[in-house]
């Protein structure tokens, strides 16, 4: 695959790796990855968006890939949502851009919705891929997840500094093969499982022999190798630190006005068991200018599982709203 080489910009204390294609005078579309992803996770979308006449931009975000970030337990607060959104605003400054359309998948989706609240003057539009706008809840989200799912739920488990990254760093290639799998189960079938099998305890599955892992391998050997080399370089600590700021982000967001004024597109995946399509219900209350779609027969890794369908939806909306 002809994936671009990065160039580097200084932003918010980072030397951020940025990957670009498309005309410099095109409307910029910034694509933000989740965990455990990279700018490379948008490899199928970048050329399609560039070909449509837009300036496609994808960074390796704080803690990831060729950007990396500070290490050590004392630096966990440097991975909160304020830093993650300030990184992107600073990236726009470094690129000489006033504003951009921001697209985000998984954690990247949370970042781009927050960009629209924290830096509204820099956001021309928002595209959520799997990740809906999630309003601030009434209780600390980690305590809420702990009550519903227990200590083994992966986000709760991630709160223990050094533990999960210690497991994943031991054999990075195995870790990437574990994460990047196409689910063998429809969402409706998942919902029929007994409660103890629905606690999202991925660590227990990871400990099993690879032959017992559910689903099928999603990526080819070249793609797994790319991710493996990137995470061997950065480690998993930075990415997992994003999860360790759920409580801090919740406390910090108390005074935010929860209204996204930019035109927005929400693309859900029909069989994502974590970011379920029904989570978009009622989004219009917070995102008035909203268009919604659901990609059928698609699990969590939408950019790789259904690239053509995703590209069609993104490009069509971008052309209609920003062409």
Q: Which residues have a catalytic role annotated?
A: 106, 243, 300
Q: How far apart are CA 111 and CA 26, in angstroms?
A: 23
> Can you spell out the DSSP letters for 209-242?
-GGG-SSEE-S-HHHHHHHHHHHHHH-SHHHHHH
Longest CA–CA separation in the chain, Å: 53
Instruction: Quote the tokens at residue 192.
Output: 């029929």
Say how far apart CA 315 and CA 299 lie, in whole Å: 21
Q: Tokens for 158, please give them.
A: 């991630």
139-172 CB burial, b ≥16 within 10 A, e <16 = eeebeebeeebeeebbbbbbbeeeebbeebeeeb
Q: Residue 246 and residue 140: Cα distance in Å, rounded?
A: 8
Integer Cα distance of 122 and 87 in angstroms: 12
Query: Cα(19)–Cα(161) distance, rounded to whole angstroms?
Result: 30
The residues facing 291 across adjacent strands are: 265
φ/ψ of 290, rounded to 5, equals -130, 135
Which residue's structure tokens are 């891929």? 129
Respond yes or no on whether the N-terminal peptide bond of residue 36 is cis (omega within 30° of 0).
Answer: yes
What are the structure tokens assigned to 13, written together?
């204390």
């Amino acid at each position: 695959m002809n994936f671009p080489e990065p160039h580097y910009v200084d932003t918010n204390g980072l030397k951020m790796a940025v990957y670009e294609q498309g005309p410099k005078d095109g409307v910029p579309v910034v694509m933000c990855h989740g965990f455990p992803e990279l700018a490379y996770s948008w490899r199928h979308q970048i050329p399609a968006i560039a070909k449509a006449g837009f300036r496609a931009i994808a960074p390796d975000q704080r803690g990831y890939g060729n950007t990396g970030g500070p290490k050590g337990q004392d630096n966990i607060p440097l991975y909160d949502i304020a830093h993650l959104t300030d990184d992107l605003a600073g990236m726009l400054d470094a690129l000489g851009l006033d504003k951009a359309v921001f697209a985000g998948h998984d954690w990247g989706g949370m970042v781009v919705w927050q960009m629209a609240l924290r830096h509204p003057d820099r956001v021309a539009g928002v595209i959520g891929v799997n990740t809906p706008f999630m309003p601030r809840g009434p209780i600390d989200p980690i305590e809420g997840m702990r009550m519903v799912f227990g200590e083994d739920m992966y986000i709760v488990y991630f709160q223990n500094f050094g533990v999960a990254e210690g497991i994943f760093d031991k054999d990075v290639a195995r870790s990437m093969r574990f994460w990047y799998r196409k689910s063998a189960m429809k969402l409706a079938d998942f919902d029929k499982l007994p409660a103890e099998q629905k606690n999202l305890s991925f660590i227990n599955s990871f400990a099993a022999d690879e032959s017992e892992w559910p689903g099928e391998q999603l990526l080819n050997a070249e793609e797994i190798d790319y991710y493996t080399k990137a995470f061997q370089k950065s480690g998993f600590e930075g990415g997992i630190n994003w999860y360790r700021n759920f409580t801090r982000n919740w406390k910090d967001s108390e005074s935010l006005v929860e209204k996204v004024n930019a035109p927005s597109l929400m693309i859900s995946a029909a069989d994502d068991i974590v970011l379920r399509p029904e989570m978009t219900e009622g989004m219009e209350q917070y995102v008035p200018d909203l268009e919604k779609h659901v990609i059928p027969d698609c699990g969590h890794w939408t950019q790789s599982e259904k690239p053509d369908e995703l590209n069609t939806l993104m490009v069509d909306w971008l052309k209609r709203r920003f062409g």
